[in-house]
Structure 1
């Protein structure tokens, strides 16, 4: 076993369900990926509930590969082509993203479409209380997250040639329909709160419509911070990105203020001031100041985001049950769909 084959804190040996012909991959990369040597070693990254992610090592160079998972997929899910396109388009906008190198849609290479991107170095925080940082650094880390989201929503997507990246307008109507269908397609059990939300949401869409680039999964765990300061250097996992309503992103980003530490590591019930973290009101106010938005009631946007999250988690749970999940914790993580739906319905009821 070489050093590159040795699992680390962020990698594991390639899981059986995600093995592919590495010889074919190396042959396809040869002549296209600058710096590729005569050997190629592959490990699987621990993250990536949806699209399996791998660390490629050749000589003294490293890259990251993301691919669609194997098996039958839900319509429009696991869109690695969109991930590649949006990150490539954002390269010079000020939104921090990894550099994109190659995209392959030839399934004969490793079984599913994939792309290769820059191997980023930095820190990824899953714990929202940021225990390894000082109080001052925690506030700065949340502020950098807020700043990054605002930058994304201020991007001129038409100037980037992304007019066809989504359908401008009526975002919530379309998304409620989409995630209702996804829920029905992947559900493993009956959750009455989901039925109630599917009825409540279409009737409570706020007035006004707008379109920006949206990430779709904008949260602390999908950000990489610099090794030496609390500043975002990369945003990952763009699978759900599209043209949509910016407050859907913000509502999703604010979900942890409404869930407890036991519910997916939320912040509800914690002394945020003592931790050096902003509360929801301050966080939203900072976003509004950066984007020039007047204050608003965030309830609908958070309820919608929790409903959508419940539908996504049920898909993760379904893949875990079927044995094709890209992460060994899929069934545990996916089981959180029920508490998310119940918390969303409670919030909707006031």
Structure 2
């Protein structure tokens, strides 16, 4: 069945086919178009043409203010990583000169564990444990890429020093929302002060994913290997150890999704064995991650007071914020030592 006139995100498949012809990609009718579920920020559609499968990624029909710029950045990062050992979706071609921006990538042969575990993963505790270590290994691989492949991408100078003021300013901005009484977050000032006093003196700039957690990883169907790190919307040039802190801070606990994963201390040790980066301040990066994510989630709580988000969601995320600041205190106390 051809899909030239099927409304899959209102994509103009005739125009897409003509553009693909101009890129020298295999010709023929576009077939088997279907939405790829799992993300909400952008549209993803899988289709086939000329005997080859593709994933199209483009902004939603009613694009957000920065949707096109975000996809330009994603396409640029994926192009830079294409010839590296970093497990990332393989970029095929990108249209970034006009809007809507879109790009084509090869489908990833893998699964996301948040939707359930296939075999052999479901039955093999050794594979599940190793999945955690492979997540750390994939991140270490990203940290080894020379950031010179992305000139002018991000602002690494003063990157760490900007973090606490940047997120406190974000928190202050919530006061502009009607009805929000201000943050009731025990430990907020203590955490901000600790972070400010313990900023690492120096770091080696590198490519950051910006949102490195279990939900943004796809694993190989036949074992524990990371098949692809996905959703590069937040990527920049900064301190890659913030990705490590983010992974540790958001690591699933208990039996969430994947029972028997390697624990945070093991992740840090495995990363350290694969990296030349100085991990002596790893606690700082984990605390910073809790601080940032807690403030981001508090934004929905504030919007709920103003009637711009459901109250139950706002309350749930506020509780999550309080849990993150509790976790920050654990990291300040040397939980990763």
TM-score by length of 2: 0.76
1:251 Cα deviation from its structure 2 partner: 0.8
1:157-177 CA distance string (max 9 Å, x none): 22x2x2311222322333445
Secondary structure of 2:103's aligned partner: strand
The structure 2 residue matched to 1:208, chosen from 201, 205, 211, is 201
Contact in 2 for aligned 1:36/1:61 (Cα 8 Å): no
Q: In terms of mean alpha carbon deviation, does 330-339 or 91-100 score higher?
A: 330-339
The structure 1 residue matched to 2:134, chosen from 144, 150, 153, is 144
The 5 Å alignment of 1:211-290 reads 211-257=205-251, 266-267=252-253, 269=254, 275-290=259-274
Secondary structure of 2:210's aligned partner: coil
Contact in 2 for aligned 1:91/1:99 (Cα 8 Å): yes
Aligned position for 1:262: none
Aligned position for 2:333: none
* Unpaired stretches in structure 2, ≥5 consecutive residues: 331-337
CA distance in 1, matches of 2:289, 2:259: 25
Contact in 1 for aligned 2:111/2:221 (Cα 8 Å): yes
The structure 2 residue matched to 1:168, chosen from 138, 153, 156, is 156
Contact in 2 for aligned 1:53/1:66 (Cα 8 Å): yes
The structure 2 residue matched to 1:122, chosen from 107, 110, 113, is 110
CA distance in 2, matches of 1:196, 1:154: 34
Q: Structure 1 54/270 Cα, relative in aligned 2: closer, same or farther at 3 Å?
A: closer
Whose Rg is larger? 2
CA distance in 2, matches of 1:282, 1:101: 36
Secondary structure of 1:283's aligned partner: helix
Q: Is 1:338 aligned with 2:318? A: yes
The 5 Å alignment of 1:36-185 reads 36-40=27-31, 42-58=33-49, 60-71=51-62, 73=64, 79-105=70-96, 107=98, 112-126=100-114, 132-158=122-148, 160=149, 162-179=150-167, 184=173
Aligned position for 2:285: 301
Secondary structure of 2:147's aligned partner: coil
1:114 Cα deviation from its structure 2 partner: 1.4
1:201 Cα deviation from its structure 2 partner: 7.0
Secondary structure of 2:151's aligned partner: coil
Q: Structure 1 81/333 Cα, relative in aligned 2: closer, same or farther at 3 Å?
A: farther
Q: Structure 1 72/342 Cα, relative in aligned 2: closer, same or farther at 3 Å?
A: farther
Aligned position for 1:347: 327
TM-score by length of 1: 0.73
1:232 Cα deviation from its structure 2 partner: 1.5
Aligned position for 2:21: 30
Secondary structure of 2:114's aligned partner: coil
CA distance in 1, matches of 2:39, 2:271: 28
* Unpaired stretches in structure 1, ≥5 consecutive residues: 6-12, 258-265, 324-329
Q: Structure 1 222/37 Cα, relative in aligned 2: closer, same or farther at 3 Å?
A: same
Aligned position for 1:192: 184
Contact in 2 for aligned 1:216/1:249 (Cα 8 Å): yes
1:27-80 CA distance string (max 9 Å, x none): 333332512422355322112232332213335432111123354636699611
Contact in 1 for aligned 2:246/2:286 (Cα 8 Å): yes
Contact in 1 for aligned 2:86/2:141 (Cα 8 Å): yes
Aligned residues: 316
CA distance in 2, matches of 1:147, 1:156: 17
Secondary structure of 1:83's aligned partner: helix
